[in-house]
Structure 1
Amino acid sequence: MPDTAAAWHQLDAAHARLSGADLKELVAAPGRLDALSFDVEGLHYDFAKLAVDAGAVEALAGLASAAGFDAARAALFAGAVVNPSEGRGATHVHARGSGSGPALAQAAADREAMRTLVERVRGDGTRHILHIGIGGSALGPALLVDALGAGGDGPAVEIVANIDGVALERAAARCDPATTRVVVVSKTFTTQETMTNAASALDWLARGGVAEPRAQVIAVTAAPDRARAWGVAADAVLPFAESVGGRYSLWSAVGLPLALRCGWDVFAALLDGARAMDTHFEGVPFAANVPALAGAFDVWASAVGGQATRGVFAYDERLRLLASFLQQLEMESNGKRVTATGEPMTRATGAVTWGGTGTDAQHAVFQLLHQGPTVAPVEFVAVREPGHAIGGDHHAQLLGNCLAQGAALLRGRTFEEALAKSGGDHALAAAKTFPGNRPSATILLDRLDARTLGALLAFYEHRTFTAATLLGINPFDQWGVELGKEMANAMGEGGAAFDPSTAALMRRAGL
């Protein structure tokens, strides 16, 4: 097997060579734009403003080879074990119709059951969907409905995740119990927050005059027997595979709210777009593979360059939940301290993903991005076609601001230029000086519809998988989440010993 240590050494050498480079000069180099711009399934990717060159890309390809990227990718699509700590595959690609093996046929059967239920509910007078889940069981559906739901003709959707009763109370206030279906999403059908909210939702239905509250419940779970034992009708239980992780699950019945709101054809188009990106990722060599390159550039920034954050800013209101969705996808997947074989990591495994919506974010956090001491990649996501029918120059201003931010991060402003704008005041000129040379990438969608959204989200999944593969970690477990759950359960049960600070807070909170 190729030597990963040698590959990391080559990357460190490439980074040292580029550490003093002027990014503006790199960007202006002949042929660079063609080499670092790509078009895949209605999405345009511009990586030209990232702090890489051909030598860095070659070194990253060397690491991919040494890390067994091709074999890992093949294992993912074959449904083989890629989650060693839990001894199973990760079959989210199968849930949308990609890949091979027995998981593909089961996913097709699950999808058909989902379609049957969608068509039934959309025709039975249901006017509201109260979707209850947490983590990926809520973040993914919320993003889908927020991005695409405005054009839907089906039931209005409310999504509840937080155990704080305020969340459920507010959502329920916008629903009519008599015409509401409660969708309960839990892989195990034991998730504490979800099941507590579900029980309270049943009480709300009963208080609203519903004689048989459980008759209005739909369960989405990898444990259908538990859902039926809880009282959900057999034909209202939608299964999905145990090997589909929550943050990768929107392609399964977890994406039910979108299908109910917008119809099956829209949900099918979402899957079509994701499958198209799967085809690209599975079949295109590393050097031209957009998700693979993006994942490699993430490794370059964090594990080689020591850049601890990555900002993602969607310049489209319909994608306002994208950064929140990516926080879970990327940080829960790759925030690991050991390799897949249990060896301590000696490099950073994942940046802190954060972000917001343009142009709001420009008036909140961009000051730090332009002049603060932290230098880290920024990613802009925008859409060429507006998502509204309002006249004027709304969309031109939106896109102009988006593209200008990337240009400004790159160019900056010299002290001499600032001095000319400051009437000779050196202190003011210093305050108006921008260092520039700050890296960014831009993803520009032709339009935002179900197909392009599917392709975009699949791109991010494969990007995350690629980064994990190059780092040698397992992106499909989340033991750090489990520890917090264990401690919360122990606190609720009493008897466990906690540190003095926590014990004092428990007393003050009345626990």
Structure 2
Amino acid sequence: MRERDLVWNKLEKARRKFSRTSILEQFQQDPQRHDVFSFRLTNLFVDLSKNLIDQQVLKDLQELATIQEFDKIREGLFSGAILNNTEKRPALHVALRTPKSSVITVEGINVVPAVHRQLEELMSFAELIRSGYKKGLTDRRFTNILHIGSGGSLTGPMMVLKALTSYQTPHIQIDFVGNADSSDLQAKLRKLDPATTLVVIASKTFSTQETILNAETMKKWMLERLGPSALSKHFVAITGNKNRANSFGIVDENIFEIWEWVGGRFSLWSAVGLTIVLGIGSENFKEFLRGARAIDEHFQNTAPEMNLPLILGMLEIWYTSILNFGSRAIIPYDHRLQNFVSYIQQLEMESNGKSVDKLGNKMTKKTAAVVWGAEGTNAQHSFFQLLHQGTSVIPCDFLIAAVSDEEFAEHQEVLLANCLAQSRALMTGRNLKATTKKLGDSGLSNEESNRLAPHSSFAGNRPSTMFLFKQLTPNILGQLIAIYEHKAFVQGALWNINSFDQWGVELGKELTNEILPLLQNKTLASNLDPSTANLMEEVFRFRK
């Protein structure tokens, strides 16, 4: 039997142990548990002690990492190795936040100088817009930015700017459009003045269907109102295909490059972050990069037993592949982090939602849990019923600031109390006996207490991780994103899957290109399945 299989067998045996014990019992057996499973970084504290794990399981998972040559794979992440083996590319988002003194080579060329040169160009361009020095065609300053993109080139900047609302300049309003549904774009256009609107089109290929559809519509809208000269003043492209951007009509000085080795879901650190800089300014963006870089250095240099992204990734392997938990909820107790959930959803599920390994062999273990969630306290009134009393065990990530940076500081006390209480309740639960007594103490009869007790009992032993930070700053947000990036990378490395491709999105695109002309020409094709053909016939009926 291979070494790898032996480790998986050990983990399977450990699973049987955890079916007979609880997190509370783990605390009783190990008085140092909180210290062992807590991590303190700069203004960030992460508590893993309420998880279904012990030190022996971590050692077994670290053994798996050793067998998978994890150290070598991690080194490849920071040195430009071809980690995306299907597309034969490095995955070098870490180069976008590395110090100037670093050397990272792609095809024999150190890419770091180009990264920092582009960063300076981005910040210079953004500051000219923010200051009002760079104006539109009618010599009025820009007051609105419309960012058009899809996938990572949309969700990243949108998430960051929502999270850092309190750091944004008040005289520039930034909106985002990504959906092919025209109602989204129309809603934005109703409040935009073409003379004061700058359009940022983010598309690596400059051919993504939804992005170009929205861009062409926006172009038509702008030219009808300002004329053809508006293209050179009001449109910016962030792309790896300069020729297509030029053909669209965008001038060279307004085109910023996305390198081939930057994946879409990791692209917010790249030129795609131009919209972020326009919103929060250069200094705050630098601080955002510093936060991510601090986690990069921690991930690279910290021993396994204290390496937070490594342990989080291994914990997810344990939950998904061994304990067979099918999903994980992310619950930020901060309204500004409401888009963080969908961002991490794409990061983890697009990276690791694979059923074959790097060599094309079918996976024998479950990979990539479903990631979902919503902001607290709102979520307490929707799906928390299932978290506490449902039949599925769903690990939770809680995120909250200790200190409010908004005016009404007393609200933070309520947020904190709720967040800490929910985490505690998930772990401790309340058994039938204690529930019956509580109901009796409240004045109910014995009969009524016994009747209601099963409905008011909580199994507990539901795991959670707490991310507690001082305040939601650009630096902290950079740290959080980088932690989740490296966590996803760890999972891919230990499962031996490619976390940097996304072939699963291609078939739907291909079939869209087959169906679209049929809809446009009001015809059916003989190769359509009966269900799709019938649905199209219904569409044609509705359109008569």
Tell me, yes or no, whether TM beats 0.5: yes
Residue 166 of structure 2 corresponds to residue 166 of structure 1: no
Shift of 1:496: 7.1
Residue 45 of structure 2 corresponds to residue 27 of structure 1: no
Residue 172 of structure 2 corresponds to residue 148 of structure 1: no
Residue 488 of structure 2 corresponds to residue 464 of structure 1: yes
| Cα distance in structure 2, aligned partners of 1:380 and 1:56 | 23
| Cα distance in structure 1, aligned partners of 2:526 and 2:211 | 24
| Cα distance in structure 2, aligned partners of 1:103 and 1:486 | 34
SS in 2 for 1:26: helix
Change (3 A) 1:230 1:496: farther
- What residue is the counterpart of 2:371 in the other structure? 353
Shift of 1:149: 3.1
SS in 2 for 1:130: strand
- What residue is the counterpart of 2:451 in the other structure? 427
SS in 1 for 2:268: coil
Shift of 1:175: 2.0
Residue 120 of structure 2 corresponds to residue 112 of structure 1: yes
Shift of 1:367: 0.2
| Cα distance in structure 1, aligned partners of 2:470 and 2:351 | 29
Contact 1:330 1:350 (C-alpha < 8 Å) held by counterparts: yes
Unpaired runs of 5+ in structure 1?
none
Contact 1:134 1:193 (C-alpha < 8 Å) held by counterparts: yes
User: Which of 106-115 and 159-168 deviates more?
Assistant: 106-115
- What residue is the counterpart of 1:501 in the other structure? 531
| Cα distance in structure 2, aligned partners of 1:370 and 1:207 | 56
Shift of 1:27: 2.9
Shift of 1:206: 2.6
Change (3 A) 1:497 1:105: farther
| Cα distance in structure 2, aligned partners of 1:491 and 1:497 | 11
Letter in 2 for 1:109: R
Shift of 1:211: 4.6
Shift of 1:497: 2.2
| Cα distance in structure 2, aligned partners of 1:301 and 1:72 | 22
Question: Counterparts of 1:112-511 in structure 2 under 5 Å?
Answer: 112-122=120-130, 123=132, 124=134, 125-153=141-169, 155-215=172-232, 216-391=234-409, 393-422=410-439, 423=444, 424=446, 425=448, 426-494=450-518, 495=525, 497-510=527-540
Shift of 1:503: 1.2
SS in 1 for 2:421: helix
Shift of 1:126: 1.2
Shift of 1:210: 4.8
Letter in 2 for 1:146: K
Deviation string for 1:60-102 (max 9, x for gaps)? 1111111111011000100110000100100111112266222
Deviation string for 1:314-358 (max 9, x for gaps)? 001111111111110000000000001111001111100000000
Contact 1:380 1:442 (C-alpha < 8 Å) held by counterparts: yes
Residue 103 of structure 2 corresponds to residue 103 of structure 1: no
Shift of 1:6: 1.7
Letter in 1 for 2:528: F
TM-score, normalized by length of structure 1? 0.97
Contact 2:327 2:372 (C-alpha < 8 Å) held by counterparts: yes
| Cα distance in structure 2, aligned partners of 1:478 and 1:89 | 15
SS in 1 for 2:354: coil
| Cα distance in structure 2, aligned partners of 1:412 and 1:449 | 34
- What residue is the counterpart of 2:79 in the other structure? 78
| Cα distance in structure 2, aligned partners of 1:95 and 1:126 | 28
Contact 2:153 2:265 (C-alpha < 8 Å) held by counterparts: yes
- What residue is the counterpart of 2:138 in the other structure? none
| Cα distance in structure 1, aligned partners of 2:183 and 2:221 | 13
Letter in 2 for 1:67: Q
Letter in 2 for 1:501: S
| Cα distance in structure 2, aligned partners of 1:338 and 1:91 | 23
Contact 1:411 1:437 (C-alpha < 8 Å) held by counterparts: yes
User: Which of 348-357 and 252-261 deviates more?
Assistant: 252-261
Deviation string for 1:382-428 (max 9, x for gaps)? 1111131125x211000110010010001111111221233322231
User: Which of 94-103 and 394-403 deviates more?
Assistant: 94-103
Letter in 2 for 1:318: R
- What residue is the counterpart of 2:521 in the other structure? none
Contact 2:165 2:336 (C-alpha < 8 Å) held by counterparts: no
Contact 1:240 1:252 (C-alpha < 8 Å) held by counterparts: yes
Contact 1:131 1:157 (C-alpha < 8 Å) held by counterparts: yes
Letter in 2 for 1:183: V
- What residue is the counterpart of 2:41 in the other structure? 40
User: Which of 146-155 and 289-298 deviates more?
Assistant: 146-155
Unpaired runs of 5+ in structure 2?
135-140, 519-524
Deviation string for 1:453-487 (max 9, x for gaps)? 11110111000000111111110000011111111
SS in 2 for 1:249: helix
| Cα distance in structure 1, aligned partners of 2:16 and 2:63 | 17
SS in 1 for 2:501: coil
Shift of 1:253: 1.1
- What residue is the counterpart of 2:15 in the other structure? 15
Contact 1:130 1:181 (C-alpha < 8 Å) held by counterparts: yes
Contact 1:178 1:210 (C-alpha < 8 Å) held by counterparts: no
Contact 2:22 2:52 (C-alpha < 8 Å) held by counterparts: no
Contact 2:143 2:197 (C-alpha < 8 Å) held by counterparts: yes
Change (3 A) 1:485 1:207: same
SS in 1 for 2:111: helix
SS in 2 for 1:441: strand
| Cα distance in structure 2, aligned partners of 1:212 and 1:316 | 43
Contact 1:490 1:496 (C-alpha < 8 Å) held by counterparts: no
Letter in 2 for 1:509: V
- What residue is the counterpart of 2:68 in the other structure? 67
TM-score, normalized by length of structure 2? 0.91
- RMSD (CA atoms): 1.6
Letter in 2 for 1:403: L
| Cα distance in structure 2, aligned partners of 1:68 and 1:104 | 27
Contact 1:126 1:181 (C-alpha < 8 Å) held by counterparts: yes
| Cα distance in structure 2, aligned partners of 1:373 and 1:500 | 37
Letter in 1 for 2:35: D
Change (3 A) 1:496 1:443: farther
SS in 1 for 2:362: coil
| Cα distance in structure 2, aligned partners of 1:126 and 1:465 | 39
